[in-house]
Amino acid sequence: MSENVSCCGSDCGTCNYYGNFCTGCNEASGRVFHAPEGKECPIYYCSKIQSGFASCGECKNLPCGIILGTRDPNLSEEEFMKTVEDRVTRLKGGPGNGV
């Protein structure tokens, strides 16, 4: 997996905030701009800290309630579900996984 791919499968390299406002999930140890102040992103916390996974791709519950509950409010339901599908594909080693 590309180092720009976060533990949830998002490709930080395609994000407008990456490099300008955010260093990315892996580099920031989950303390990204959209996480609660002083805390890790809930997806990062569950995957990396609580479960000890390299990414959510190791979890049998992918996509889980945490991923489905952590939604960009600027996206429609259809757009959001497409991003979830793309992230799961990337994490499971499918097309566009950055490898």
Residue 34 lies inside a defined structural domain of this protein: yes
Residue 99 lies inside a defined structural domain of this protein: no
Residue 3 lies inside a defined structural domain of this protein: no
Residue 60 lies inside a defined structural domain of this protein: yes
Q: What percent of the chain has pLDDT over 90?
A: 58
Average pLDDT over residues 20-42: 89
Q: Which residues contact 22 (CB under 8 A, 6 or more apart)?
A: 12, 15, 28, 32, 33
What does the pLDDT look like over 49-77, one tens digit per residue? 999 999 999 999 999 999 999 888 889 99
Instruction: Report the candidate in 59, 34, 44 with the shortest Cα–Cα distance to residue 8.
Output: 44
Residue 74 lies inside a defined structural domain of this protein: yes
Residue 4 lies inside a defined structural domain of this protein: no
Instruction: Indicate if the pLDDT at residue 95 is higher than 60.
Output: no
Based on the structure, what is the number of domains in the chain? Answer: 1
Residue 60 is part of which domain span? 12-91
